[in-house]
Amino acid sequence: MITTHNLGFPRIGAKRELKFAVEKYWRGKLTESELQRLVTTLRQKHWQQQDNIDWIPVGDFSFYDQVLDASFILGNVPTRTNIDLHTELDAYFRVARGRSVGDTEASSIAASEMTKWFDTNYHYLVPEFSSTTEFKLQADRLLAQIDEALQLRDTIKPVIIGPLTYLWLGKSLDRTQPLDLLNKILPVYNELLELLFKRGIQWVQIDEPILATDLSAEWCEAFKNTYSRFSKNRPRILLASYFGQLRENLDWACELPVDGLHLDVSVSNSDVAQAIELLPADMILSLGVISGRNVWKSDLNTLLDWLEPIASRLQSRLWIAPSCSLLHVPVDLSNEEKIDREIAPWLAFAVQKLDELNILATALNDGRQAVADKLKDNAEAIAARTNSPRTRNLDVQQRVKDISADDTQRQSPFPARSIEQRQKLNLPIFPTTTIGSFPQTDEIRRTRRQFKSGNMPEPDYLKKMRSEIADCIKRQEQLGLDVLVHGEAERNDMVEYFGEQLIGCTFTEYGWVQSYGSRCVKPPIIYGDISRRQAMTVGWTEYAQSLTDKPVKGMLTGPVTILNWSFVRDDQPRQTTCAQLALAIRDEVLDLERVGINIIQIDEPAIREGLPLRHRDASAYLEWAIGCFRLAANGVRDETQIHTHMCYSEFNEIIQSITEMDADVITIEASRSNMELVNAFVDFEYPNDIGPGVYDIHSPNIPSTDQMVDRLQMVSEHLPQERLWVNPDCGLKTRKWDEVSPAIENMVTAASILRNLVAVN
Ligand code: GLN
Ligand code: ZN
Q: For residue range 254-285, what is the model confidence (pLDDT) as tens digits? A: 999 999 999 999 999 999 999 999 999 999 99
Parallel/antiparallel/unpaired status of strands 502-506 and 525-532: antiparallel
pLDDT at site 108: 82
Average pLDDT over residues 404-422: 98
pLDDT at site 647: 87
Contacts of 727 (CB under 8 A, 6+ apart): 432, 433, 434, 435, 667, 691, 693, 694, 695, 747
Ligand 1 proximity of 731 Cβ (cutoff 6 Å): yes
pLDDT at site 699: 82
pLDDT at site 184: 97
Asked if the model's pLDDT at residue 84 lies above 80, the reply is: no
Average pLDDT over residues 487-516: 96
DSSP track, 5-21: B-S----S-TT-HHHHH
Ligand 1 proximity of 211 Cβ (cutoff 6 Å): no
Helix residue ranges, H only, 547-614 = 559-564, 574-594
Quick one: which of 170, 163, 223, 212 has its CA closest to 192? 163
CA 47 – CA 52 distance, rounded (Å): 10
Can you give the C-alpha Rg of the chain in angstroms?
27
pLDDT at site 115: 87
- pLDDT tens readout for residues 304-363: 999 999 999 999 999 999 999 999 999 999 999 999 999 999 999 999 999 999 999 999
SS3 321: strand
Helices 574-594, 394-401: inter-axial angle, 10-degree rounding: 90
User: Quick check: 655 and 714 in contact, CB under 8 A?
Assistant: no
State the ligand closest to the CA atom of 555.
1
pLDDT at site 385: 98
**Range from 351-360, 382-391, 644-653 carrying the lowest mean pLDDT:** 644-653
CA 691 – CA 432 distance, rounded (Å): 9
Asked if the model's pLDDT at residue 79 lies above 90, the reply is: no
SS3 728: coil
Average pLDDT over residues 29-49: 97
Positive or negative, the Cα torsion across 129, 135, 140, 142? positive
What residue type is assigned to position 415 of the chain?
A: P
Asked if the model's pLDDT at residue 253 lies above 80, the reply is: yes
Q: Is 328 a catalytic residue?
A: no
| Span from the CA of 99 to the centroid of ligand 1 (angstroms) | 26
**Atom number, ligand 1, closest to the C-alpha of residue 435:** 4
- pLDDT tens readout for residues 159-181: 999 999 999 999 999 999 999 99
User: 121, 498, 730: which to mutate for ligand 1, most atoms within 8 A of CB?
Assistant: 730
Average pLDDT over residues 401-421: 98
For residues 78 and 37, the model is more confident at 37
Kindly provide the residue ranges of all beta strands, DSSP E only, lying in 542-640, ordered along the sequence.
Answer: 553-557, 567-568, 599-603
State the ligand closest to the CA atom of 669.
2
Q: Confidence band (pLDDT; 50, 70, 90) for 82?
A: confident
In DSSP terms, which residues pair with 158 in a beta bridge?
58
Phi, psi of 503 (to 5 degrees): -75, 135
pLDDT at site 111: 82
Residue nearest to atom 4 of ligand 1 (CA): 731
| Span from the CA of 502 to the centroid of ligand 1 (angstroms) | 19
Ligand 1 proximity of 603 Cβ (cutoff 6 Å): yes
Parallel/antiparallel/unpaired status of strands 284-290 and 260-264: parallel
The helix (run of H) or strand (run of E) holding residue 58 is strand 56-58
Average pLDDT over residues 367-385: 98
**Atom number, ligand 1, closest to the C-alpha of residue 601:** 1
| Span from the CA of 668 to the centroid of ligand 2 (angstroms) | 7
| Span from the CA of 669 to the centroid of ligand 2 (angstroms) | 7
Q: CA of 492: how far to CAs of 285, 442, 515, 628, in Å?
A: 45, 12, 16, 25
State the ligand closest to the CA atom of 695.
2
CA 685 from centroid of its chain's CA atoms: 30
Quick one: which of 742, 737, 753 has its CA closest to 704? 742
SS3 647: coil
User: Quick check: 108 and 102 in contact, CB under 8 A?
Assistant: no
User: Quick check: 49 and 545 in contact, CB under 8 A?
Assistant: no
Residue nearest to atom 10 of ligand 1 (CA): 731
SS3 261: strand
CA 127 – CA 217 distance, rounded (Å): 23
pLDDT at site 701: 87
Average pLDDT over residues 653-658: 95
User: 435, 484, 669: which to mutate for ligand 1, most atoms within 8 A of CB?
Assistant: 435
What residue type is assigned to position 291 of the chain?
A: S
CA 740 – CA 727 distance, rounded (Å): 12
For residues 711 and 647, the model is more confident at 711
pLDDT at site 669: 92
Residue nearest to atom 5 of ligand 1 (CA): 731
**Range from 203-217, 443-457, 530-544, 693-707 carrying the lowest mean pLDDT:** 693-707
State the ligand closest to the CA atom of 730.
2
Ligand 1 proximity of 494 Cβ (cutoff 6 Å): yes
Q: CA of 504: how far to CAs of 528, 571, 610, in Å?
A: 4, 13, 21
Ligand 1 proximity of 491 Cβ (cutoff 6 Å): no
DSSP state of 727: B
- pLDDT tens readout for residues 439-469: 999 999 999 999 999 999 999 999 999 999 9
Average pLDDT over residues 148-153: 96
Asked if the model's pLDDT at residue 672 lies above 80, the reply is: no
pLDDT at site 81: 79
Q: Confidence band (pLDDT; 50, 70, 90) for 667?
A: very high
Ligand 1 proximity of 435 Cβ (cutoff 6 Å): yes
DSSP track, 435-450: -SB----HHHHHHHHH
Asked if the model's pLDDT at residue 707 lies above 90, the reply is: yes
- pLDDT tens readout for residues 44-66: 999 999 999 999 999 999 999 99
Contacts of 596 (CB under 8 A, 6+ apart): 542, 545
Ligand 1 proximity of 647 Cβ (cutoff 6 Å): yes
Apex CA 366: angle with CA 362 and CA 369, to 5°?
Answer: 90
Residue 31: Cβ within 10 Å count: 11
Residue 614, burial from CB neighbour count under 10 angstroms (0-12, 13-18, 19+): middle
pLDDT at site 36: 97
- pLDDT tens readout for residues 563-603: 999 999 999 999 999 999 999 999 999 999 999 999 999 99
User: 440, 472, 484, 488: which to mutate for ligand 1, most atoms within 8 A of CB?
Assistant: 488
